[in-house]
Amino acid sequence: MNQHRSARWIAFPGLMAFLFLMMMAVGCDRDGIQEKEEVTEVRRFQLQSGEEPSVQEQGSIYAGTSLWLSQSLTQQDKEDLIAAFSLKDEDVYSFLQGPKSWKARIPWSGSWCRFKVEGNPFGGFGCGLCCMANIYNTLSPYEVSPLDMFEHAKAVSDYSPSGAIGAIDWRDIKSSLEICGVSCKLYRKPSSYKKFKKQMAKAKSAIVLVSSYEDNAYWQDTPGHYVNIWLYQEDGTVFLAEPGDPDKNRSRIPLRYVYDALKTSNEFQYLLVTEYTERNNQWKANGISIKWKRPK
């Protein structure tokens, strides 16, 4: 996991710095500016005379910086740049919330399971906070624990857990993530699966609230539970980060299972994540000090 994170976040700033310097060099090159003006004049003449533009000029008004950069980047540079914006199943964080997972030292479990609020154990209410930490860690260059996310949510939102109610509310999830630079929006279950599938195909990630009272084809004995889904594929499956069940965690499941099990008795059923923006991150917390089982 750390190797994937390092490759993605180390390669990206280097490539962006390279691109920035090259763009500055081209922009400051007087010969380049003069060439742009000359080519623009040629283009104008061609449009007036009906002459077809050259192959090099097609798709661009002039052979400027974009064309120069595309010719200058090596194939490896291009692949690294694409990879910096791409996610794979193995890049996704998927924290587990419960004490049984931690006792067995299952990867993604941690000692945060021992934390209690007025006798209410984290394993009983921490699913939403695990999902939030998954999103923050996967999309940003930082790493925090679900317990760190708990403290963050308490500090920046109206989240106020108690011995009776520990689960975080939808609006508190949204406001806490937005302070982390995560763009997201709350939704109610659409009337058609087709619309739901289209939304998930475009989203970076989603937190969904499922209940076996709605459908028990995949989740059983589950009155209400937050899970985190990623990376919709054309075969109709999504990558599942399941904080409450290590056997289901990090598996690919049909998206239809999620749609059918959405808990409609709640005001909202899911939160869609569209992007992470570093400049909008007002938290930038980093580092997990609490004991946990990091995956290899």
Cα distance between residue 257 and residue 229, in whole Å:
12
The confidence score (pLDDT) of residue 200 equals 98
Residue 213 has pLDDT above 70, yes or no: yes
How far is 130 from 142, CA to CA, in rounded Å?
15
Strands (E) located in 38-141: 116-117, 120-121
Asked if residue 230 and residue 103 are part of one domain, the reply reads yes
Residues 129 and 42 placed together within one structural domain of the fold: no
37 and 157 housed in the same domain: no
Mean pLDDT of 227-236: 97
pLDDT average, residue stretch 66-72:
52
Q: How much is the CA Rg of the chain, to the nearest whole Å?
A: 24
Kindly indicate the confidence band of residue 178, based on its pLDDT and cuts at 50, 70 and 90: very high
Do 110 and 44 lie in a common domain?
Answer: no
Q: Same structural domain for residues 100 and 25?
A: no
Check whether residue 76 and residue 99 sit in a common domain: no
Domain count, the chain: 2
Q: How far is CA 153 from the centre of its chain?
A: 18
- Please tell me the distance from the alpha carbon of residue 16 to that of residue 237, in angstroms, as a whole number: 33
Mean local confidence (pLDDT), 122-140: 98
pLDDT in tens, 235-257: 999 999 999 999 999 999 999 99
Distance of CA 182 to the CA centre of its chain: 8
The pLDDT of 221-233, averaged and rounded, is: 97
The pLDDT value recorded for residue 86 is 83
Q: Residue 293: its pLDDT value, please? A: 98
Q: What is the mean pLDDT of residues 199-224?
A: 97
Residue 146 near residue 135, CB atoms below 8 Å:
no
**Within a domain: residue 296?**
no
- Give the pLDDT score at 71: 60
| Tens digit of each residue's pLDDT (9 = 90 or more) over 19-54 | 555 555 545 444 444 444 444 444 444 444 444 444
- Flag whether 294 is in a domain: no
The whole-number pLDDT of residue 46 equals 43
Q: What 3-state DSSP class applies to 77?
A: helix
68 and 117 together in one domain: no
The total number of residues written for the chain in this structure: 296
pLDDT of residue 9: 56
Q: How confident is the model at residue 2 (pLDDT cuts 50, 70, 90)?
A: low
With CA atoms as reference, report the closest residue to 109 among 129, 130, 85: 130
Last residue within a domain, chosen from 84, 107, 123: 84
Whole-structure pTM over 0.85, yes or no?
A: no
pLDDT of residue 35: 43
Indicate if 134 and 13 belong to the same structural domain.
no
Average pLDDT over residues 151-176: 97
Rounded mean pLDDT, 203-221: 98
- Is position 288 within any domain? no
Span 94-121, mean pLDDT? 98
Strand partners, 272: 185, 206
Higher-pLDDT residue of 141 and 84 is 141
Tokens for 53? 């533009």
Asked if the structure places residue 114 within a domain, the reply is yes
pLDDT over 50 at 65, yes or no: no
Domain of residue 257 covers 90-281
Lowest mean per-residue pLDDT among 37-46, 95-104, 188-197, 232-241: 37-46
DSSP conformation letters of 177-230: HHHEEEEEEEEPPPS-HHHHHHHHHH-SEEEEEE-TTT--SS--S-SSEEEEEE
